[in-house]
Amino acid sequence: MGEFVRLEVADGVGTIRLDRPKMNAISIAVQEELRAAAAEATERDDVRAVVLYGGERVFAAGNDVKEMADMSYQDMVARSGPLQSAVTAIARIPKPVVAAVNGYALGGGCELALAADLRIAGERTVMGQPETLLGIIPGAGGTQRLARLVGPSKAKDLIFSGRFVKADEALAIGLVDRVVPDEEVYSEALAWAGQFRSAAGLALRAAKECIDRGLGTDLETGLEIERMQFAAVFATEDRTTGMTSFLENGPGKATFASR
């Protein structure tokens, strides 16, 4: 358990909780603790899905500008890789990941939410990539994941202008997947993640890899990735469990061991 990031596990769901008052600014220390939490969530068999959560007040208001303000070009050449890879570590958790977003999710906080598979936002959520207003650009995946999620023209509008997006617009453009009352954000995220407690973990892992890797390549290569993963899951115990249960009891009744 880190000073600012911890993994809390209950009933098959792991919550990666940011807790750096007041605004969960993402410092170098937070980046490294996010990386460690992602590795632990990946390795633990009792974690079947993950909720990414910043608390009831704020998700993460951005990277630590005070820390970055004194960094030189040479400093950032050395730090940009670890900065980006800390968020990528969240994206590469081979299990379903949902971001439970309350309050501000700006800059690095928005990039962190983009690394999840799904985003559930509160009604008073505010998101954006305001880096150009500081004379820089998003550096932890914002230019890439945002464009892939909402399309290049909407991403350019948000990144070029640096403007903030409220929950209703975020939902309309596909930046978030669901908007609920602020007090229900975490419970909704837990409910979404909880549906995978007894799911076929290896099949979910394969499906996530197919989608994520396929988005980065052409259709023919993506189809080949899918073909190989489709064949691979036939070597799992879960495949036998699932098909046997379907034939004997109908769909949706199998309990999987993720083996």
Domain residue spans in the chain?
5-194, 201-249
Predicted confidence (pLDDT) at residue 1 exceeds the cutoff of 80: no
SS3 198: coil
Q: What is residue 252's predicted lDDT score, i.e. its pLDDT?
A: 84
- The answer on pLDDT for 10 being more than 80 is yes
Q: Which two tokens stand for residue 61?
A: 């208001």
Quote the pLDDT of residue 52: 98
- Within 13 Å and on the Cβ side, how many CA atoms surround 4? 18
Cross-strand pairs, 71: none
Question: Can you say how many angstroms the Cα of residue 220 is from the centroid of all Cα atoms in its chain?
Answer: 26
Q: Virtual CA dihedral for 27, 166, 145, 174, nearest 10 degrees?
A: 150
Report pLDDT for 110. 98
Q: Which CATH topology does 5-194 take?
A: 2-enoyl-CoA Hydratase; Chain A, domain 1 (3.90.226)
DSSP state of 164: -
| CA-based nearest residue to 35, from 72, 78, 88 | 88
Residue 255 in 3-state DSSP?
Answer: coil
pLDDT tens for each residue of 98-121: 999 999 999 999 999 999 999 999
Q: Please report the pLDDT score of residue 251 as a whole number.
A: 87
Omega prior to 156 cis, within 30 of 0: no
pLDDT score for 113: 98
CA proximity to 62, closest of 36, 82, 87 = 87
* Confidence category of residue 257, pLDDT binned at 50, 70, 90: confident
- pTM for this structure? 0.94
Element (DSSP H or E) covering residue 215:
helix 201-215
**Considering only CA atoms, which of 32, 23, 134, 20 is closest in space to residue 81?**
32
Amino acid code (one letter) for 157:
D
Does the domain at 201-249 match CATH 1.10.12.10? Answer given as yes
pLDDT of residue 258: 86
